[in-house]
Amino acid sequence: MNDSHGNEKPSASFTSDTDDFSLVLGGPLFQLLNRARLSGTALELVRKRILFFVLLTWLPLLLLAAIEGQLLGGGVAIPFLMDVDVHVRFLVAMPLLIGAELIVHKRIRPVVGQFIERRLITEASRESFEAAVASAMRMRNAVSAELLLIAFVYVFGVLVVWRNAAALEASSWYTVVNATGFDLSLAGTWYGYVSIPVFQFLLIRWFFRVCIWMRFLWQVSRLELNLTPTHPDRVGGLGFLANSAYAFMPLAVAFGVLLAGLIANRIFYVGATLADFKVEIIMVVIFVESIVLAPLLVFSAQLADAKRTGLREYGALAMKYVRDFDYKWLRGGAAINEPLVGSGDIQSLADLGNSFAVVQEMRLAPITKDVLLRLAVATLLPIAPLLLTMMPLEELLKRLLGVVL
């Protein structure tokens, strides 16, 4: 903690550097979409981008499945139009991943600017802060990073995860089960080598962006910060960082949608029940909470140090004040005619006690219960309709009303 620079004003050039910060305005795909007039310098044309990716990933599957006669029948256990997973993946989850870019862009940039507006960055740390911003932008724009993501998608995402874990072991519009596994239909070939890789790339690229965000915050947490232990947000003035979690809320919903689609297919076509996936549901909620909130934990060391320093300093100040108060009002130190009623000493003592209580209540991370709850609800909300597979709607409503009332 360092309060010696609390009155500094950041220079205009320093403030303008933070205006360039964005987790999403960069990279080869962004540049490609920009040149194809599917995006703008401020992520305009969201609907146009969503439509483009739907036409690339979902529409060919519809057409190829129709050609092969597997829209609603065709002698397979899961015809195309009855495949819940594929529809929620490309018509719900994927638009959420694309739309989240605009939300994250608009909400994260002001969060970064708060480090300057709140004068948390000391004069000695300004150059290092600028370097952290520049480093994050270089990492975001790296061509090699997205090439590695594409390679990872095809080598691991498609050949390992999708073929061995995600694909159903039942005849469907995209597979035909045989003695050694399954063969891909014509629609399945497009699904496995175009649609799935495109979706997985969009998803994994979000993990990469979260890594950039965590790395940036970690670099900032290594700097000397002007933390104030008595700040009413109980995190030394870093409370604004909790708002960054809300920017990633569409990602939480997208994960919930993906899980709901996978579970629905297994309930409808494999004979599973929702209760069979309790562990998976809990793990996804924990995973979402972790990737969104883990970046904020990097400030724990500085907050712990600020709390220790604050308790020591305000403890010493309180001791001096209460001793003077005790001497003045209980040991005859006050003037004979000085009234206790109306004196500001008691109010000052109360104010000092409140300040000390704030320091005592300092949290070691800018994370609130409200954020934790909302992320969990956002993740679980898409799964909620599957409760109807366990009980009728009328009984479910009765139980819910019984809990609420």
Asked whether residue 316 is domain-assigned, the answer is no
Asked whether residue 40 is domain-assigned, the answer is yes
Max avg pLDDT among 75-84, 276-285, 310-319, 323-332? 276-285
Distance CA 49, CA 54 (A): 9
Per-residue pLDDT band at 122 (split at 50, 70, 90): confident
What pLDDT does residue 157 have? Answer: 72
Longest dimension (CA), the chain: 102
pLDDT tens, position by position, 265-295: 888 888 889 999 999 999 999 999 999 999 9
Domain count, the chain: 1
Distance CA 80, CA 65 (A): 7
Asked whether residue 74 is domain-assigned, the answer is yes
pLDDT tens, position by position, 220-271: 999 989 999 989 999 999 999 988 889 999 999 999 999 999 899 888 888 8
* Cα torsion 208, 212, 217, 223: sign: positive
Asked whether residue 319 is domain-assigned, the answer is no
What pLDDT does residue 100 have? Answer: 93
282 φ, ψ (degrees, to nearest 5): -60, -40
Asked whether residue 344 is domain-assigned, the answer is no
Asked whether residue 342 is domain-assigned, the answer is no
Rg (CA), the chain: 28
pLDDT tens, position by position, 373-405: 999 999 999 999 988 887 665 665 566 566 555
Q: Which amino acid is at 16?
A: S
Asked whether residue 170 is domain-assigned, the answer is yes
At 226 the three-state DSSP class reads: coil
H helices present in 249-343, as ranges? 249-269, 278-293, 300-330
What pLDDT does residue 304 have? Answer: 93
Residue 106, pLDDT above cutoff 80: yes
Residues 204 and 149 sit within 8 Å (Cβ to Cβ)? yes
User: Which residues on adjacent β-strands are paired with residue 179?
Assistant: none
Residue 343, pLDDT above cutoff 70: no
Asked whether residue 336 is domain-assigned, the answer is no
Per-residue pLDDT band at 180 (split at 50, 70, 90): low
What pLDDT does residue 394 have? Answer: 63
Q: Which amino acid is at 355?
A: S
Distance CA 354, CA 395 (A): 50
Q: Look over the chain and give the mean of its residue pLDDT values, rounded to a whole number.
A: 84
Distance CA 214, CA 22 (A): 13
State the residue range of the domain holding 96: 12-305+367-404
Residues 76 and 171 sit within 8 Å (Cβ to Cβ)? yes
What pLDDT does residue 301 have? Answer: 93
Could you give the angle at which helices 143-152 and 28-35 cross, rounded to 10 degrees? 100
Residues 122 and 6 sit within 8 Å (Cβ to Cβ)? no
Residues 121 and 115 sit within 8 Å (Cβ to Cβ)? yes
Residue 8, pLDDT above cutoff 50: no
Residues 247 and 107 sit within 8 Å (Cβ to Cβ)? yes
Q: What is the pTM of this model?
A: 0.84
Q: What is the mean pLDDT of residues 28-43?
A: 84
What pLDDT does residue 16 have? Answer: 45
